[in-house]
Structure 1
């Protein structure tokens, strides 16, 4: 399903800044913000509408709130790593595909060399993703 939404100027600026900081296209940063926002709203309760709590921290201790913040931070870090790995994988696959199209033929050795090159590119991109 395709949905369209409007954001305020400050929300757009925040999304653009976040996208630039983590090296994502604006679209992917917007999708991530939407996914994390929905996850926060749903809070593990499934897809039913969520009724706002009058005092969200009323029954939660400081330790519980800190544990929740840490869990969200770990989830965010994992989502960022997954995005980076996906981008790196697509880069390596694209390079291999381009090499296959540009190659002199479909000889087994040529295809084996493309596979080695793609693996080397992926390993290099994976190392970069882990460094970030």
Structure 2
């Protein structure tokens, strides 16, 4: 594919395609799938690779969730591109227990405070979200 040969970022190609399709109503569908639900839940993250779980543990809070990903506020920066396992602070937290997500972005907010975005490996079930949000 031309984008691969030129090493063009897939998100740039997606944005161009979205702009092209904006008049057809397809964009409305994409925006609905990306709707975010504000959620403030304490959590910890660990690298999903079993041999490295104890090496890099992060603590923080959720900022928002969608079916495909979430925003987090963390105490340490996650490694962009790595896959993390989400665990709730409370035992058997159904929202977070065992989720896997890839870190897609991270930025410094303040000293030792980081905002990060994660994309889930498997989308969350639609029934977890209020009617009309998804």
Alignment TM-score, normalising by the size of structure 1: 0.27
Pick 1 or 2: higher relative contact order, CA cutoff 8 A, min separation 6: 2
Larger Rg: 1
